[in-house]
Amino acid sequence: MSGKLYLVPTPIGNLGDVSRRSVDILERVDFIAAEDTRVTAKLLNHLGLKKPMVIYHRHNCARAGGAIVARLLGGEACALVTDAGTPGISDPGEKLVALCAANGVEAEAIPGPCALTVALSVSGLSTRRFTFEGFLPVKKKNRTIHLNQLDGEERTMVFYEAPHKLAGTLRDLADAFGPERRLVVCRELTKLHEEVWRTTLGEAWERYTAQEPRGEFVLVVEGCVPTEEAPDEEGALMRVEQLRRTGLSLKAASSQAAQEFGMQKRRLYELALDK
Ligand code: SAM
């Protein structure tokens, strides 16, 4: 085990979710890069492990990242862990992996807990196609741009949010997608007070403006239902007339125009006859 970065997921609540392979790697690496060493120390304690740690979080990632990569280039092995979940998903892990890639250092991801996939899989909404939106921007202007980009989004959308910003985010989502849009609120996943609430954006906004949200939240929002465009019957009839002037029979002209306008041949023929 040398010169490699291991991305080790940690439980998002239930300590039983740390895998055997993750424990094995934490045991064997030379050092651990942790978002908060106090949080990771608790986990290591629980696992009966002791390991040197360095801090790697969003405020020091530029400096700390360089130092970690230098050690990896020197042949050491490092496990990157965050406070909870999979490193790189809505946390600075992404930057360290990019730095490793830029310096020719190998990175290996261990599968494991991630609030995104737990919420999505329990949501009951379509998982065939989805988009992970993470945390919405805090600044109003950037948030509006982001939400405008999601206008007409048909895929299921997954958002992370902190409890103190939840009500405001629900209001903005309800404004953007309508209060009737289906939502699954996934709260405190894998923990004692886990709750999966299948509701709507409007209803959830009402609840969390009346009652202070507690715990950690993932919001899974249904994509918009694709609207079937009504065929342009007027345009199709005009096209029939145009084709008739070239000498085609009513039947042949209706058939060709129907094909061009995505209409049923019979329906257009009957409309043309009525005219
Ligand atoms: N890397 C982590 C992952 O793999 O999910 C996410 C880190 S992000 C900084 C933290 C956010 O994840 C929280 O604000 C919340 O939206 C979500 N989250 C983490 N643990 C959760 C849990 N047990 N239940 C619900 N949401 C959770």
Counting from 1 in the atom list of ligand 1, the atom nearest the Cα of 191 is 23
Band of residue 2 on the pLDDT scale cut at 50, 70, 90 = low
> What was the pLDDT predicted at 259?
87
Q: What is the atom index within ligand 1 of the atom nearest the CA of 9?
A: 4
Evaluate: CB of 159 within 6 angstroms of ligand 1: no
92-109 burial: b if 16+ Cβ within 10 Å, else e: bbeebbebbeeeebebeb
Query: Would you tell me how many other CB atoms lie within 10 Å of the CB of residue 122?
Result: 15
How many angstroms is it from 136 CA to the middle of ligand 1?
A: 14
Could you tell me which of 189, 206, 200 has the C-alpha nearest to residue 116?
189
What are residue 246's phi and psi, to 5 degrees? -85, 0
The Cα diameter of the chain in Å comes to 89
- Return the number of other C-beta atoms located less than 10 Å from residue 26's C-beta: 22
Cα of 250 to ligand 1 centre, how many Å? 63
**What's the pTM?**
0.84
Tokens of 40: 């990771």
Identify the pLDDT of residue 80. 98
Alpha helices in 156-218 (DSSP H): 166-177, 201-210
Instruction: Enumerate residues 6+ apart whose C-beta is below 8 A from 257.
Output: 236, 237, 239, 240, 243, 263, 268
226-263 per-position pLDDT tens digit: 777 777 899 999 999 999 999 999 999 999 999 888 88
* Per-residue confidence (pLDDT) for residue 185, from 0 to 100: 98
Nearest to 133, CA basis, from 142, 124, 189, 199: 142
So what's the pLDDT on residue 231? 78
Q: How big is the chain, counted in residues? A: 275
CB 268 within 8 A of CB 260: no
pLDDT at 227: 74
Q: What is the mean pLDDT of residues 146-172?
A: 97
Over 70: is that where the pLDDT of 24 sits? yes
| Residue 91, φ and ψ in degrees, nearest 5 | -150, 175
Q: How far is the CA of 189 from the centre of ligand 1 (A)?
A: 9
Write out pLDDT tens, residues 109-143.
999 999 999 999 999 999 999 999 999 999 999 99
Nearest to 74 by CA among 111, 117, 112, 103: 103
Q: What is the pLDDT of residues 167-190, one digit of tens each?
A: 999 999 999 999 999 999 999 999
Amino acid making up residue 90: S
85 Cβ closer than 6 Å to some ligand 1 atom:
yes
Q: Strands 53-55 and 31-34, how do they pair? A: parallel
Q: What is the CA radius of gyration of the chain?
A: 27
91 lines ligand 1 (CB under 6 A): yes
Contact of 160 with 135, CB cutoff 8 Å:
yes
From the list 242, 233, 237, 243, the residue with the least C-alpha distance to 275 is 237
* pLDDT digits 0-9 by tens, 32-74: 999 999 999 999 999 999 999 999 999 999 999 999 999 999 9
Give the angle subtended at the CA of 243 by the CAs of 240 and 248, to the nearest 5°: 110
What is the per-residue DSSP string for 63-120? HHHHHHHHHHHTT-EEEEE-SSB-TTSSSTHHHHHHHHHHTT-EEEEPP---HHHHHH
- The ligand 1 atom nearest the CA atom of 91: 9
